[in-house]
Amino acid sequence: MHLIGVSFRLIMVIIGKEKIHINIVIISHVNSCKPTTAGHLIYKLGGVDKHFETFKYYCTVIDDPGHRDFIKNMITGNSLADCAVLIIDSSTSCFEVGISKDGQTREHALLAYTHGVKQMIC
């Protein structure tokens, strides 16, 4: 739709009605049931598509690998993300191990922050 040579989309952007696209990365320790949690989230959203939308946003879900052998893929996913969901294993000993000085959970959170992810849901 055009209005005097100006597109409808441009008008929506100008008045603040255009939806913003955000990338959400899901990160976790290798054994913290991330596939189960991510799969349940996508199921609750009504499908297996990695895209969904809210009232204000178009969202893309990025599933980061949790294994140390895939650090390169993790860095790529983190560098594309606007925000993150950090899945933390809350088992008795796993939580302490994950956030310890050399813990994977701590490492993943630090990598995400280093790559510009400033908002994280834990």
- For 1-41, the pLDDT digits (tens) are 444 544 555 555 556 667 888 888 888 766 655 556 666 66
How would CATH label the architecture of 19-121? 3-Layer(aba) Sandwich (3.40)
Q: What is the pLDDT of residue 1?
A: 44
Domain ranges of the chain: 19-121
Q: What is the pLDDT of residue 49?
A: 59
Candidates 115, 117, 34, 42; CA nearest to 83 is 117
Task: For residues 50 and 112, give the distance between their C-alpha atoms in angstroms, rounded to a whole number.
Answer: 20
How are beta strands 2-3 and 6-7 bridged, if at all? antiparallel
Ranges 45-49, 67-71, 92-96: which has the least confidence: 67-71
Would the pLDDT of 114 be above 80?
yes
pTM above 0.75, yes or no: no
Mean pLDDT throughout 68-87?
Answer: 69
User: What pLDDT band is residue 107 in, cutting at 50, 70 and 90?
Assistant: confident
